[in-house]
Amino acid sequence: MGTTGAPQVEEAVASCLALLGTATDRDWDGVRADRLEWSCRRTAEHIAGDLITYAGQLAGRAQHSYLPFELALDEGTDNSGVLEVIGATGALLAAAVRTTAREVRAFHPYPFRSANREGFAAMGIAEVLLHTQDIARALGLDHQPARGLAEFVLTRIFPHVRPGADPWRTLLWATGRGELPGRATVTEWRWHNNLVLPTERLTLEGVHPAAAADLAAGGDGGFEWIPGGPFQGTREAATFMTKAYQAGLHRPEFGVFALVRREDGRAVGGMGFHSTPDAAGRTEVGYDLVEGARGQGYATEALRALTGWALARDDVRTVLATVERDNHASRAVVSRVGFKQVGEDLDELSYELGG
């Protein structure tokens, strides 16, 4: 898959500067940005402030809150100067994203209190694209960012939004800035960074839709795998997740997780849910490991963490698992976690774990 998000940050910032640079002689202070309470000038300053904030969070590895600083422009800075600051802060975010390891996470409040480099890149791109749009509408400029930028944002931090034929229009709709046929108007929204669940030796990293599509197509999903990975079951699960995302049925926390070793950042397997909980609070879990990672307790450790997280929720009461009759290793895994056998047929055994 091979993208950090840094090139997309640079592209978004360059697009912003090119468009707004055509209107630096206009009155930005006296014109309110579209749909915002801020002026166009205040909105432009906000773009720069978000870019430097995200760069600081990622570069400083902030873990518990935002770092205690904010951007202040010198008195008398004109519109061209504001754009120069946006360019500089965008370059700082791109550099932080490019030089940060994939598994590193830093604090961001929504919704699971952390984000990785792709998450911070996507949030920065979203701020640039959307607030450039707010300023452009107010100044009568035509803003049409590259399709790939909107797709990057949607697949990383809007995984709960059903994709549309036009990613830019879909992103505008998802953030309350436009209408889409057949969809209700959005009045409240937040983006959605991926969930991670740490264990003693692993991190279960939620897979976003772009990574799932790459895995389904035979790629690595942006992970560095141990030899032989990913295993076929992970690719199949990614295929199902991709179909759910395309249909607007995907709930990110009930998707696919890559099992990443904390000691070296390499993925050893996949685990996840077959679907969201039904009306009775039941959901089914599945998993596989690359052959070189089997027999070391990884599956038991990950399954205990994932089922514990699920059963602590109000919408989950029972986790199901189906195991092939002759898969004795997998049967041992579910038994160690506490699943009880509740059914069988010629080929498979059914298990349940209750809260």
Tell me the per-residue pLDDT of 16-67, one tens digit each, with 9 for 90 and over.
999 999 999 999 999 999 989 999 999 999 999 999 999 999 999 999 999 9
Instruction: Output the pLDDT for position 106.
Output: 98
Q: Over the chain, what is the mean pLDDT?
A: 97
Q: Angle, to 10 degrees, between the axis of helix 147-157 and the axis of helix 117-139? A: 130
Q: Which CATH superfamily is domain 196-307 in?
A: Gcn5-related N-acetyltransferase (GNAT) (3.40.630.30)
pLDDT more than 70, % of the chain: 100
| Model confidence pLDDT, tens digit, residues 210-246 | 999 999 999 999 999 999 999 999 999 999 999 999 9
Q: Measure Cα distances from 250 to 180, 196, 207, 274, 330 in Å.
A: 19, 17, 12, 11, 27
Q: How many CB atoms lie within 10 A of CB 75?
A: 5
Instruction: Output the pLDDT for position 1.
Output: 78
Q: What is this structure's pTM? A: 0.96
User: 170: which 2 tokens?
Assistant: 């879909």
Q: Which CATH superfamily is domain 6-174 in?
A: dinb family like domain (1.20.120.450)
What are the residue ranges spanned by the domains of the chain? 6-174, 196-307
Q: Mean pLDDT, consecutive 10-residue segments, the chain of 355 residues?
A: 92 98 98 96 98 98 97 97 98 98 94 96 98 98 98 98 97 97 96 96 98 97 96 96 96 96 97 96 97 97 98 97 96 98 95 93
Instruction: Output the pLDDT for position 80.
Output: 98
Rounded CA-CA distance 254/15 in Å is: 35
Full DSSP string of 150-174? HHHHHHHH-TTSPP-SSHHHHHHHH
The letter for the amino acid at 231 is F
Instruction: Output the pLDDT for position 96.
Output: 98
